[in-house]
Amino acid sequence: MERKERRLIPIHIFGKRYEVPEGLTIQKAMEYSGYQFIRSCGCRGGICGACLTEYRTPKDYKIKMVLACQSLVEPEMQITQSPFIPMNRARYELEKLRAQSDILGRIYPEIFRCLQCNTCTRVCPMEIPVMEYIACAIRGEIERVAHLSFPCVMCGACASKCPAEISQPHVALLARRIYGRHMLTLPQRLYQRMEEIKQGKYEWVLERLVQLPTSKLIELYTQREQEPQESNHWVPKEIDFPENRLREERE
Amino acid sequence: MSAYPESMQASIRKVEETRLSRAKEEFPKLSLKERQELLQQFHPDYREGGRRELKVGVNRGQRVPNELADLFEGLSLIRPHEIDLHRIQREVDVLVIGGGGGGASAALFASECGARTLLTTKLRFGDSNTLMAEGGIQAAVGPYDSPVLHYLDTMGGGGFENLPNLVWALVEDAPLILEWLARLGVMFDRNEDGDLLASFAGGQCRRRVHSAADYTGMEIMRVMRDEVYSRGIEVIEFCPAVELLLDEKGRCGGAIFIHLDTKERFVIRSKTTILATGGIGRLHIQGFPTTNHYGATADGLVIANRAGAKIIFMDAIQFHPTGTAYPEQLVGLLVSEAFRGWSAQLVNCEGKRFINELETRDVTSSATIREVVERKKGVSTPTGMQGVWLDTPLVELNKGKGTIHRIFPHLFHRFHTFGIDITKEPILVYPTQHYQNGGLLIDENGETTVPNLFAAGEVSGGVHGRNRLGGNSLLDIFVFGRRAGILAAERSKETKVGKLSLNHIIEYERELQREGILKKEIKSPILLPDYRYERALPQTHQ
């Protein structure tokens, strides 16, 4: 087997030395070393923010923060994990908030303490321009905060290193929720559809369908018209399908 | 410089050669008969020896994957006589077990109905398959779409075996769930006109999937978590339920928990209980890699089965057609179905298509397995894994430059980390275990066959039949989370819990012993998968 030929490299987990095959992620290297995670492990795909990990390599003064499931081991790296970063979140009723330019600063006044040191941006494993969105938050640019911060997995790397002690992920989450709730609109069509359902427009069709013998259901299924990939101006040939068919039968 | 080894690059060149000529090509869809034949020949569900019949309990006679049957036949994590059921640590109206989308929505609605609600979860609140959902959520809101078409699509995807009353609930609640999520502040994608963006998933006759880039589940989960905390609902993390409690009338009246750090065991009594513990991916059915969260270890199924809850379709496992096959650090991870919805094609080692990419998942996966195993048209990786290409650069060609950055920023970032630019190079994929199509049998209000025990999300079954459509899972967790939350809250007002007992555990183990199939070496639920030592190394599962 190919895996037998893998070169072993030394790493240090919480100060203890292990030898692990190269090419493993930090997460798998820790498992190879005998760890069964309770904390510091979640989606294993870089989206949940559970496995925030700090490390240093020899001859480099820099301390790096990464997600253990997304980063490969390096020889002689010293690893520690931060499965939980204390962060303060405010309690609010989103419905009652308004998209006012001072709203973020009112709920999280500590954003004004930002020293513009840019450490948050430097340590973010998702490569989010954290300091920039905090600057936007100070200026009240809710929409920009929402978009810039969108990939945030809330691992807390930024908050753990911030000399101004800001809980950036919560500021960003508030901005996104205000943006999603109070600045984006929903199409009238959605409300219309909800109303139609409430009024029972589809009730008789669905009632028919749930009682239909499978053979009949299959017939309708195979007669569905497929919307094409390029469907900008597409209109189906039979608009009231399958209502028409079932109505005909009923009459 | 490409991160793909030269052996794979040779095949990529063939993919590039054929790209233009097949860019707009319509690949015919299979007839229902052809679909059935393909499934029977190549879908892992139909492999001999993969499943076995349960011999004891309320689900006797049902066939389930061996890996799950093993857990059903294992010992409980607790010895009933060691637990003092009079020492109740907490008493609530509605107990929600599970901290993904199903549990969070159930807790929100139960609490809104005035019930004292407690949410418990094995890992962190939010740790779940919900937050890993990339593609999106179905809801029929388009002008030429309707809940009726959504119904037909869902039934066809499930092999027409879905429980009709559940599908009815699913399609009828979909628009209101979408609106509810948007009102909580979920940033659903919009098109240039500011209208909701909708994409295709396999098996749909209309584009109906609503997304938040390829972070849909994560965006929804972080919003819901925030809302649960804002409403002041109590959450207990790192405490999985290890057994359910029944009263003398056979109604569920709470659960026993283990604190994962301190190993302390404690009892929570509740008037009603909602199980939302998710799926079974981490059991690695038939050795397949999985797209699932670390915590997806079938805990809820194991304890509910012991408590006498019926299951349905637990022999039907969903293999997602596009699990990552290279690089090996990413093997098994999901590559969103939305890629195919945005016109990416599946091609073999010669750059030729072999299936319409928007067939249902079971069919598409079977076609890929046929292409690799029978037709020998797969592409091999240096460690012996095989796969076919998902031609992602085609999205840029068909839908415009920059589309991948806009719609798939997370997947772009993930592959970029490993030196692969998916706007220029295709992704090697192979089917990977993704979803349990079945689960605990529920009615349209989310109640299981055990009174006062509800279930929501992947742990429940019936609505998807034997094969779920893309975008119907994010929907199902909220539709039934909401319904279960509301009814559990109402029911709690008229419920007086009787004397709690663990007799069902004793009885169940006795039955296993009588049959001679008690597996003393297995303790279940397993709670955490074990990837220590050699098991941490990449495996080839083909």
d(C-alpha B358, C-alpha B27), whole Å: 10
* Residue A4 pLDDT exceeds 70: no
pLDDT digits (tens, 9 = 90+) for A80-126: 999 999 999 999 999 999 999 999 999 999 999 999 999 999 999 99
CB contact under 8 A, B226 and A177: yes
Selecting from B29, B165, B175 the residue whose C-beta is nearest the C-beta of A190 gives B175
Q: Which residues neighbour B280 within 8 Å (Cβ) at sequence distance 6 or greater?
A: B65, B67, B68, B292, B296, B297, B298, B301, B436
CB contact under 8 A, A35 and B532: yes
Token pair for B147: 């809940």
**How big is chain A, counted in residues?**
251
Token pair for B195: 């209208």
- pLDDT score for A2: 45
Interface test with B, best of A103, A215, A221, A246 (most B CBs within 10 A): A221
- Kindly indicate whether the ipTM for this predicted assembly is greater than 0.85, answering yes or no: yes
With contact defined as beta carbons under 8 Å apart, do B389 and B427 qualify?
Answer: yes
- pLDDT score for A251: 63
With contact defined as beta carbons under 8 Å apart, do A245 and A216 qualify?
Answer: no
Q: Which residues neighbour B70 within 8 Å (Cβ) at sequence distance 6 or greater?
A: B519, B522
Mean confidence (pLDDT) of chain A: 95
Q: B101 to chain A, minimum CA–CA distance in Å?
A: 14
Question: Residue for token digits 């369908």?
Answer: A209
- CA B8 centroid distance within chain: 31
Interface test with A, best of B403, B531, B535 (most A CBs within 10 A): B531
CB contact under 8 A, A217 and B155: yes
Residues of A in contact with B537 (CB under 8 A): 3, 21, 24, 28, 32
With contact defined as beta carbons under 8 Å apart, do B236 and B118 qualify?
Answer: yes
d(C-alpha B199, C-alpha B213), whole Å: 11
Q: Which percentage of chain A shows pLDDT scores above 70? A: 97
pLDDT digits (tens, 9 = 90+) for B134-187: 999 999 999 999 999 999 999 999 999 999 999 999 999 999 999 999 999 999
As a whole number, mean pLDDT of residues A183-195 equals 96
- CA B9 centroid distance within chain: 33
Q: Summarize chain B as % helix, strand, coil (round to 5).
A: 35, 20, 45
Token pair for A236: 């189906």
CB contact under 8 A, B155 and A221: yes
* Residue A3 pLDDT exceeds 70: no
Selecting from A41, A176, A217 the residue whose C-beta is nearest the C-beta of B185 gives A176
With contact defined as beta carbons under 8 Å apart, do B233 and B108 qualify?
Answer: yes
Phi, psi at B222, each rounded to 5°: -70, -30
With contact defined as beta carbons under 8 Å apart, do B240 and B257 qualify?
Answer: yes
With contact defined as beta carbons under 8 Å apart, do B136 and B112 qualify?
Answer: no
Going by C-alpha positions, the residue among B285, B321, B317, B293 that lies closest to residue B432 is: B321
- pLDDT score for A1: 38
Q: Round to the nearest angstrom and report the end-to-end CA distance of chain B.
A: 29
Provide the 3-class DSSP secondary structure of residue A14: coil
Residues of B carrying an active site annotation: 320, 340
Selecting from A184, A197, A236 the residue whose C-beta is nearest the C-beta of B172 gives A197
Q: From B164, which residue of chain A is nearest by alpha-carbon distance?
A: A210
Going by C-alpha positions, the residue among B152, B96, B230 that lies closest to residue A223 is: B152
Q: Which residues pair with B460 in a beta bridge?
A: B440
Q: A137 to chain B, minimum CA–CA distance in Å?
A: 17
pLDDT digits (tens, 9 = 90+) for A164-178: 999 999 999 999 999
Q: B221 to chain A, minimum CA–CA distance in Å?
A: 10
CA atoms within 13 A on the CB side of B452: 27
Beta strands (DSSP E) in B364-510 are: 379-380, 386-391, 427-436, 439-441, 453-455, 460-461
As a whole number, mean pLDDT of residues A27-50 equals 97
With contact defined as beta carbons under 8 Å apart, do B366 and B41 qualify?
Answer: yes
With contact defined as beta carbons under 8 Å apart, do A241 and A222 qualify?
Answer: no
Going by C-alpha positions, the residue among B401, B429, B402 that lies closest to residue B415 is: B429
As assigned by CATH, the class of the B88-316+437-503 domain is alpha beta
Residues of A in contact with B398 (CB under 8 A): 229
Question: Domain B6-30+319-433 falls in which CATH fold?
Answer: Flavocytochrome C3; Chain A, domain 1 (3.90.700)
Selecting from B152, B190, B261 the residue whose C-beta is nearest the C-beta of A184 gives B190
Token pair for B318: 């969903």
Q: Which residues in chain B are classed under CATH 3.90.700.10?
A: 6-30+319-433
As a whole number, mean pLDDT of residues A18-40 equals 96
Selecting from A92, A146, A205 the residue whose C-beta is nearest the C-beta of B230 gives A92
Domains and CATH numbers, chain A: 2-81 (3.10.20.740), 94-183 (no CATH)
CB contact under 8 A, B144 and A239: yes
Residues of A in contact with B238 (CB under 8 A): 38-39
pTM: 0.97
Buried b (16+ CB within 10 A) or exposed e, B430-455: bbbbbbbbbbbbbbbebbbbbbbbbb
Chains A & B: contacts with CB separation below 8 Å: 230
- pLDDT score for B129: 98
Number of Cβ within 10 Å of residue A8's Cβ equals: 11
d(C-alpha B449, C-alpha B443), whole Å: 8
The residues of chain B scoring below 50 in pLDDT are none
CB contact under 8 A, B141 and A44: no
The DSSP code sequence of B483-515 is HHHHHHHHHHHT------B-HHHHHHHHHHHHH
Q: Which residues in chain B are classed under CATH 3.50.50.60?
A: 88-316+437-503
Give the containing element (helix H, strand E) for B256: strand B252-258
Going by C-alpha positions, the residue among B97, B388, B40 that lies closest to residue B256 is: B97
CB contact under 8 A, A226 and B205: yes
| B311-312 sheet: strands from edge to edge | B311-312, B439-441, B460-461
